Amino acid sequence: MVCGIVRVVAAKGNSVWVESDNQSACGGCSMAKGCGTKVISGYFNKDIGPLKMNNNFDGVIGDKIEVGIYNTTILKVSALIYLMPLVGLVIGAVSGDALGGGDISAMIFGAIGFAFGFYISKFLYISKHVAASVVPVFLKRITPVETVETSCPSGVSQ
């Protein structure tokens, strides 16, 4: 399970919406300017708002809590984000080559397939089905003196 600290930004009934203070997957390292992961995460984070989760901890707006997301969920979403463009690239390149246009045709169709796969993965990523599968699990309430380093249980990565 991957854990992190989030803030409750809305509450209604048995649901709360949480949001991380840091929307980017990275950005703190010295390689942030040339990092492909940062570019891709920025592209996908544009349309993603706060995550909805069950309010089984009596959360109110402004609460800082520790949540976790299961590794299997992260693996599925990562496969969607990275594999769809790759599959589009391969299908496009093979299709372009099959049309008999040579390498140039394969490259053009491959680029079109990559762009189409990227668009499809973004569309699926923001769909309600995928968004519903990315539901954080409440771990504990964070007091003002705790930090991420002191709050995550051992064996759980950040």
For residue 79 the two structure tokens come to 């496969």
Cβ distance 32 to 26 under 8 Å? yes
What distance, in Å, lies between the first and last C-alpha atoms of the chain? Answer: 9
pLDDT by 10s per residue, the chain, length 158: 777 788 888 888 888 888 876 544 555 555 555 555 555 555 445 445 677 888 888 888 888 888 888 888 888 888 888 899 999 999 999 999 998 878 999 999 999 999 999 888 888 877 766 666 677 778 888 776 655 555 555 555 54
Handedness of CA 89, 95, 97, 103 (dihedral sign): negative
**Rounded to two decimals, what is the model's pTM?**
0.55
Q: Which residues of 67-97 are buried (b: 16+ CB within 10 A; e: fewer)?
A: bbbeeebeeebeeebeebbebbbebbbeebb
Q: Of 149, 114, 25, whose CA–CA distance to 77 is shortest? A: 25
- Provide the pLDDT for residue 43: 47
